[in-house]
Chains A and B, each alone.
Chain A
């Protein structure tokens, strides 16, 4: 499969950019869901802008978001829209969220925003909502139904037991903090989701954006959604469902029935795979070919952003990985699950040259 250039090389009409030949064949052969088109959008996530004092922010995370924005702007043709996947700030402070909004304002395409726990637990998303609007919503674009969830909620009791918002936020901010609480979508949002889905035809392609994985991968690091099974059940009747999630800061992908799961990268820093923590059990999807470890000297190593091609209701994620070989996880129509276009399961990722 020809490596996909981020820049259009000639007057190709399909999806606004050059498509690998095999996907073109699939598009022609497969019956695209009625009224849906093929298109591309971008996804930037998990920037964790961290205020040190006043207007001084952690330079490393700032550079990560700035780089993703600059690189995303190089795309030609432009993506249809850009999804921001949550955790714009690190401790949910107004200064952090405003700083992030300022950097994102340099993007040349329309933006859609999603909440992460780091944006939420200081003031329960109040400032974030003021700047960006609804905490969960849905929209339609070129025949695909998009749902943006707020999937980092938790137990009401836990939320209200804290003396100060700082305490609550900093506990949730520690990925490995034992005093945290598992993420969930929650009953009221599930009810909203049920209603939203009731108006959608079964053969309409659906993309669900979520910060938490809508799966149960590793509870210790909140790679977890407590009501994952209930959400998956609601999505089961539909032919083509894609869940794209943030939070994990690493490449993961999975297929459960008709639902494809794909994670996105963080612009700020990578996290190790839960399998590297030897003292606990975890359930990383077996089909995921893991990334290599990062070289911490290169602050952007194992960070990145992605542009996502949607074709016939399926998603291919093109990960833009600085200091690394880019990777593409594409939906394989034959095996009917997401697969790396270059590496096979059981392959060891070739060692990175610079490590």
Chain B
């Protein structure tokens, strides 16, 4: 009888772990971090644990709250608070939903995996504010519940618990934060011809043709992840660097060299950790985008293409949260990288961005279509800050 129960539980957990929403490809799982129920549960707990911050009040879920579609609805995120006030970052918190499909994380792709991403915010001076990973790991070791859980999940004794285990558990949890099954998915991949109404269908046509959205926010024959995992300058933040790109880029390179030395001393030789600190603490460095990581001229002010799933629920938009509504976003693209006709556009604009000449109706239809990318489990998310 017990064996029968175990078998059913095992089958159920397998189903749980491998459930495939309509419209998504299988989640990529790294070989060294397979999914297990207990690991996912541990990751979920760590994700919501606010102890891993300088003021004991900031967890991953502070900026990536489930009830806010795993973001915080702020233009730029806030970190811990102390007598000097609340720390402010320079960038908008991307949603965790479907982040499992990104091949690099953060707006500038400075780390290659969810595991690596989870390690940076707790020790960033404007986010979690902990001095080092040792501090975080100490807290894990001092908590008997965590010691037990890490032992169960990773077969590791208390002394051997490391930041890598923390990272693997959190990433494992995040790989379950995926969603498909939107009206678009049912229409496109589920064969439900009436899942989209007429305006949404017209919007899809704009998306695939005159709107030119599909090339970066990719849709494929059998699934859609809505990102090409590349970096593009679409003109956002141009005003901050206008006339100063050369000076800021040169200054950043100098500062980076110096900062890498001090970070290596304090925290260890971790790739792009120094960049992580500089771009979140100084707005003009943040505006350099991918260039801050790759040092390539073509990456000036280029940012990662984000998924559009649940986009209606993850306002405000862009790396600096500067576009408040989907209507603004559509205007931005329609004018070829600006909000007003008379604004100028950056010379560094990506070759895929150009004026679209959409009619007012086409713009409205496109917005309506984007709202059809919301998955059922996030349908009730309200725009609360």
Give the residue of B257, B348, B351, B355 whose beta carbon is less than 8 angstroms from that of A298. B351
Chain A residues positioned under 8 Å from B349 (CB to CB)? 63, 67
User: Is the CB–CB distance between A73 and B246 below 8 Å?
Assistant: yes
A299 and B249 contact, Cβ closer than 8 Å, known pairs A71-B298, A320-B297, A321-B298: no
User: Is the CB–CB distance between B300 and A298 below 8 Å?
Assistant: no
CA distance A59 to B228 in the complex (A): 25
User: Is the CB–CB distance between A59 and B354 below 8 Å?
Assistant: yes
User: At the interface, yes or no: A230 with Cβ under 8 Å from chain B?
Assistant: no
CA distance A353 to B245 in the complex (A): 28
Chain A residues positioned under 8 Å from B253 (CB to CB)? 5, 7-9, 76
User: At the interface, yes or no: B283 with Cβ under 8 Å from chain A?
Assistant: no
Binary A-proximity of B298-329 (CB < 8 A = 1, otherwise 0): 10100000000000000000000000000000
User: Is the CB–CB distance between A74 and B249 below 8 Å?
Assistant: yes
User: At the interface, yes or no: A277 with Cβ under 8 Å from chain B?
Assistant: no
A71 and B297 contact, Cβ closer than 8 Å, known pairs A7-B250, A9-B253, A297-B215: yes
User: At the interface, yes or no: B49 with Cβ under 8 Å from chain A?
Assistant: no
Binary A-proximity of B207-235 (CB < 8 A = 1, otherwise 0): 00000100100000000000011100000
User: Is the CB–CB distance between A74 and B228 below 8 Å?
Assistant: no
The size class of the interface chain B forms with chain A is: 20 to 34
A6 and B295 contact, Cβ closer than 8 Å, known pairs A70-B245, A354-B228, A354-B230: yes
User: Is the CB–CB distance between B245 and A74 below 8 Å?
Assistant: yes
User: Is the CB–CB distance between B212 and A353 below 8 Å?
Assistant: no
User: At the interface, yes or no: A66 with Cβ under 8 Å from chain B?
Assistant: yes
User: Is the CB–CB distance between A353 and B229 below 8 Å?
Assistant: yes
Chain A residues positioned under 8 Å from B383 (CB to CB)? none
Binary B-proximity of A173-185 (CB < 8 A = 1, otherwise 0): 0000000000000
Contact residues, A1-25 vs B (CB, 8 A)? 5-10
Chain B residues positioned under 8 Å from A298 (CB to CB)? 215, 350-352
User: At the interface, yes or no: B347 with Cβ under 8 Å from chain A?
Assistant: yes
Contact residues, A294-308 vs B (CB, 8 A)? 295, 297-301, 303
CA distance A295 to B216 in the complex (A): 12
User: At the interface, yes or no: B296 with Cβ under 8 Å from chain A?
Assistant: yes
Chain B residues positioned under 8 Å from A8 (CB to CB)? 250, 253
User: Is the CB–CB distance between B350 and A70 below 8 Å?
Assistant: no
CA distance A10 to B254 in the complex (A): 7
Binary A-proximity of B267-292 (CB < 8 A = 1, otherwise 0): 00000000000000000000000000
Contact residues, A70-103 vs B (CB, 8 A)? 70-71, 73-74, 76
Chain B residues positioned under 8 Å from A300 (CB to CB)? 298, 350-351
User: Nearest Cβ distance between residue A350 and chain B, in whole angstroms?
Assistant: 15
User: Nearest Cβ distance between residue B259 and chain A, in whole angstroms?
Assistant: 13
User: Nearest Cβ distance between residue A303 and chain B, in whole angstroms?
Assistant: 8
A interface secondary structure, majority = loop
Give the residue of A5, A6, A299 whose beta carbon is less than 8 angstroms from that of B352. A299
User: Is the CB–CB distance between B351 and A7 below 8 Å?
Assistant: no
Chain B residues positioned under 8 Å from A5 (CB to CB)? 253, 295
Give the residue of B229, B257, B354 whose beta carbon is less than 8 angstroms from that of A10. B257
User: Is the CB–CB distance between B297 and A74 below 8 Å?
Assistant: yes
For B295, give the chain A residue with the smallest CB separation: A5
Give the residue of B228, B249, B350 whose beta carbon is less than 8 angstroms from that of A7. B249
Give the residue of B212, B229, B257, B351 whose beta carbon is less than 8 angstroms from that of A322. B351
Chain A residues positioned under 8 Å from B257 (CB to CB)? 9-10
User: Nearest Cβ distance between residue A7 and chain B, in whole angstroms?
Assistant: 5
User: Is the CB–CB distance between B348 and A76 below 8 Å?
Assistant: no
Binary A-proximity of B350-372 (CB < 8 A = 1, otherwise 0): 11101100000000000000000
User: Is the CB–CB distance between A74 and B230 below 8 Å?
Assistant: no
CA distance A297 to B250 in the complex (A): 31
User: Is the CB–CB distance between A320 and B298 below 8 Å?
Assistant: yes
CA distance A59 to B230 in the complex (A): 24
CA distance A101 to B348 in the complex (A): 19
Chain A residues positioned under 8 Å from B212 (CB to CB)? 297
User: Is the CB–CB distance between A70 and B348 below 8 Å?
Assistant: yes
CA distance A70 to B244 in the complex (A): 11
User: At the interface, yes or no: A323 with Cβ under 8 Å from chain B?
Assistant: yes
CA distance A324 to B296 in the complex (A): 11
User: At the interface, yes or no: A69 with Cβ under 8 Å from chain B?
Assistant: yes
User: Is the CB–CB distance between A67 and B347 below 8 Å?
Assistant: yes
User: At the interface, yes or no: A326 with Cβ under 8 Å from chain B?
Assistant: yes
User: Is the CB–CB distance between B348 and A67 below 8 Å?
Assistant: yes
Chain A residues positioned under 8 Å from B245 (CB to CB)? 70, 73-74
CA distance A321 to B298 in the complex (A): 7
User: Nearest Cβ distance between residue B347 and chain A, in whole angstroms?
Assistant: 4
User: Nearest Cβ distance between residue A49 and chain B, in whole angstroms?
Assistant: 15
User: Is the CB–CB distance between B295 and A301 below 8 Å?
Assistant: no
User: Is the CB–CB distance between A74 and B246 below 8 Å?
Assistant: yes
CA distance A143 to B243 in the complex (A): 35
User: Is the CB–CB distance between A326 and B296 below 8 Å?
Assistant: yes
User: Nearest Cβ distance between residue B239 and chain A, in whole angstroms?
Assistant: 15
Chain B residues positioned under 8 Å from A73 (CB to CB)? 245-246
For A6, give the chain B residue with the smallest CB separation: B297
For A72, give the chain B residue with the smallest CB separation: B297
User: Nearest Cβ distance between residue A324 and chain B, in whole angstroms?
Assistant: 8
User: Which of B295, B347, B355 has its CB near the most chain A CB atoms (within 10 A)?
Assistant: B347
Chain B residues positioned under 8 Å from A301 (CB to CB)? 351
Binary B-proximity of A37-66 (CB < 8 A = 1, otherwise 0): 000000000000000000000011001001
User: Is the CB–CB distance between A297 and B352 below 8 Å?
Assistant: yes
CA distance A223 to B349 in the complex (A): 31
User: Nearest Cβ distance between residue A66 and chain B, in whole angstroms?
Assistant: 4
User: Is the CB–CB distance between B351 and A63 below 8 Å?
Assistant: yes
User: Nearest Cβ distance between residue B36 and chain A, in whole angstroms?
Assistant: 31
CA distance A110 to B307 in the complex (A): 44
CA distance A290 to B313 in the complex (A): 45
CA distance A354 to B231 in the complex (A): 11
Chain A residues positioned under 8 Å from B229 (CB to CB)? 353
Chain B residues positioned under 8 Å from A66 (CB to CB)? 347
Residue contacts A-B, CB under 8 angstroms, 10 given: A6-B296, A7-B249, A297-B215, A298-B352, A300-B351, A303-B351, A320-B298, A322-B298, A323-B351, A353-B229
- Can you name 16 extra interface pairs (CB under 8 A) apart from A7-B250, A74-B245? A7-B249, A7-B253, A7-B295, A60-B354, A63-B349, A63-B351, A70-B245, A70-B346, A70-B347, A71-B348, A74-B249, A76-B249, A298-B215, A322-B298, A322-B350, A324-B298
